[in-house]
Structure 1
């Protein structure tokens, strides 16, 4: 059997297992998340981005059945990372729905780390196709935000605020500000316009869900800064390609 076909079959099997877990326990994820929400929690509609992420991942996996030659090097590079990523995703759902919030926090950061590795490997591969990076740019953007939410959920459920003398509101403002800085740096360094769009999507949903003036202010400022950076990056990419 063609090694690329074998890799794609493995990727598809792990992806399907992940989907089954998510479908079976998806309602419980929402129930757990909404039980005692942190201030950084976005409006429920924001979580619909998972549909887009899973759809794009499925397309990427199916694409692996049809690539040949050097184009297949992307899949060969990720022969371990891709199934491990699916495994971490499904494991996170199991841990989170069982209210094992500390474990789920550890797992989601492992998931984030795996996505960073996948993104970097694809980015460095000169034989990558135009589509190869798209699913993982969006996936990485959302998990970046989800990781922060998971940390705050853990602290809120364990009544850990105030922490170091700072209340939850203060830590939320700090986290959103740092998220903005990291999004700007990521966008400029990688010249990626999809990652920041996901961050903007998340910040708008946080703005819509929370009535605190401080959070409204920091999310609005962050949205303007990230949007400006994204527009600048897009214009720069268009000019460089002419």
Structure 2
């Protein structure tokens, strides 16, 4: 009986590793389609340009999306890393494998929703992606990395992924509202931009405190906010209030992260 259980677990472990690896390939293929390199429409040009850098006051500047290259490289590294024998039976990777798979498939689904001009569908997809990444973040915090390399590949990649998707979710929702001619309940676009950017910064602060100063979520979230500020100061859609709110958000989130990390180190 014990031998059968062990064999079944080994089969399940191998299946999990294969599923994660295949999902990573699907996500990377989706990224090629989203970049326009495989014949698809670039994300910023799809859905009538709803996600372009000048579509809303929350949209980051175009160069901000270069962070996806780093995230996808990390995801591929993670797919290879979790496939190695040492990670096959590791309890940590048993917990992370299928949530990571869900994030990869949701990523691909989000790209497809934009490519097929289903902008409204992109919102529940990206919210689900954010929820999955938040779950992964919690799991990583409660299950320590196996070693430094595991911390860099797994925690670093998923942290960057989470921080960026926080900003992307805010920008995505704003794009859908603008495309739907949302009236703003009496508030003008600048006021809404400041409110949304403040919420994004508050999420960054919460991640910093809960994560005891984890650097990767802060790095990507602040990267996104910084590019929002750059686009509002130098792009085609200018807004001083939105730029100031984004800059303040970067400063506050960085300060809280560093302070929390130092306190955790001392503790």
Structure 2 vs 1, CA of residues 166 and 128 (structure 1 numbering), >3 Å: closer, same or farther? farther
Q: Secondary structure at the match of 2:90?
A: helix
Residue 9 (structure 1) aligns with: 18
Further displaced range: 60-69 or 214-223 = 60-69
Gaps of 5+ in 1: none
Structure 2 vs 1, CA of residues 146 and 190 (structure 1 numbering), >3 Å: closer, same or farther? same
Residue 220 (structure 1) aligns with: 247
- The whole-number CA distance in structure 1 between the counterparts of 2:246 and 2:163 is 16
Alpha-carbon offset, residue 126 of structure 1: 4.0
- The whole-number CA distance in structure 2 between the counterparts of 1:181 and 1:79 is 29
Residue 233 (structure 1) aligns with: 260
Q: Secondary structure at the match of 1:159?
A: coil
Residue 91 (structure 1) aligns with: 109
- The whole-number CA distance in structure 1 between the counterparts of 2:91 and 2:31 is 29
Q: Deviation above 6 Å: which 4+ runs of structure 1?
A: none
Further displaced range: 231-240 or 203-212 = 231-240
Residue 82 (structure 2) aligns with: 64
1:170 aligns with 2:191: yes
Further displaced range: 211-220 or 198-207 = 211-220
Q: Is the 8 A contact 1:64 1:72 kept in 2?
A: no
- The whole-number CA distance in structure 2 between the counterparts of 1:40 and 1:63 is 35
Give per-residue Cα distances to partners, 1:161-196, cap 9 Å, x unaligned: x32211222111101111112211220121112211
Alpha-carbon offset, residue 74 of structure 1: 1.8
Q: Secondary structure at the match of 1:68?
A: helix
Q: Secondary structure at the match of 2:186?
A: coil
Structure 2 vs 1, CA of residues 69 and 228 (structure 1 numbering), >3 Å: closer, same or farther? closer
- The whole-number CA distance in structure 2 between the counterparts of 1:236 and 1:58 is 33
- The whole-number CA distance in structure 2 between the counterparts of 1:112 and 1:229 is 22
Residue 119 (structure 1) aligns with: 137
Give aligned pairs, total.
239
Q: Secondary structure at the match of 1:176?
A: helix
- The whole-number CA distance in structure 2 between the counterparts of 1:35 and 1:195 is 22
Give per-residue Cα distances to partners, 1:129-170, cap 9 Å, x unaligned: 42332111110000111111110110111111x322112221
Gaps of 5+ in 2: 1-6, 233-237
- The whole-number CA distance in structure 2 between the counterparts of 1:97 and 1:108 is 14
- Taking structure 2 as the reference length, what is the TM-score of the superposition? 0.82
Among 188, 208, 211, the alignment partner of 1:187 is 208
Residue 141 (structure 1) aligns with: 163
Further displaced range: 231-240 or 137-146 = 231-240
Among 221, 237, 244, the alignment partner of 1:199 is 221
